[in-house]
A and B are shown apart, each in its own frame.
Chain A
Amino acid sequence: MNNRSLIVSRVSRWVAPLIFVFGIYVALYGHLSPGGGFPGGVILSSAFILTLLARGRKATLERLPFGVAKKLDAVGALLFLCIALFGLVVTGVFFANFIHQYLPGEPLRLFSGGTIMPANIAIGLKVAASLFLVMFALSALRISTDEQDEPIRTLEDK
């Protein structure tokens, strides 16, 4: 995997941040336009996956260390759960939209819809981190077979 194309790696340097920003936009504006936490998270993680494919694992881990991604994964999920539990604490109903009652916001603006936007952010975090982890784990498995050069083929002879 050392013969990476220079063009691909240079271009990915430019494109990855743009994808990242677009992911944030899609996640934030999920309550107003097509999109939301899951697509936003997928786009966010695809920025890192692009880096992973174009420039290798080392360069990716400089951007997003494995441990941080693991933490973000759990934090995103817990954040989502906390939003649901806050609804329970504030209004007495699980998953109730507790912000919207007090801060209705202006419809069709970014700050509207109450808990929907925080929930989208939490989901975006969770999805981005876990998709990145999945791809990273798969790449780790794959590269370790490459390094051995000769995969374990002893069994196939039988």
Chain B
Amino acid sequence: MVYVLCAMLLCVGIFGLISQKNVIKIIISISIMENAVNLFLVVIGYRRDGIAPIITERIHESVQFAEKAVDPLPQAMVLTSIVIGLGVMALMVTMALRIYHVYGTYDITEILKSRKKAE
């Protein structure tokens, strides 16, 4: 069920990427796609009635802990990919703003059409 949600989210992102002309909206679509993949990664590690993979005072039995805890590795990977996504996103937004300064528009087709040379 959640897998279907991930796929839908991914499709929404792809649709946005293809159909939108505004650079900012394209960047938002990319972020939606990224989150779909991140969600998928988290869901992989999930197990029914699982507990957080953190040792607290209540859990001492390590065997029982390993049986019940969800897989922490995808969570670490998701955290990393979120950080990467954040970096790329910040960079793309900055570029989009600079492009707005230079070209005066956010419309990707107009930006690609105009053959403006560097001042």
Contact = CB atoms under 8 A, between A and B. Distances in A.
* Direct A–B contact present (CB less than 8 angstroms): yes
Interface residues of B, number: 22
Contact of A158 (B54, B55, B97, B114): B114
Interface string A130-158: 01001001100110010000011111101
Contact of A34 (B52, B100, B102, B110): B52
A32 to B, nearest CB: 8
Interface string A16-35: 00000000000000001110
A108 to B, nearest CB: 6
Interface residues of A, number: 20
Contacts of B104: 151-156
Given A108-B55, A145-B100, A155-B116, A138 B94 contact: yes
Interface string B45-82: 00000001011110000000000000000000001000
Interface of A: 32-34, 38, 107-108, 131, 134, 137-138, 141-142, 145, 151-156, 158
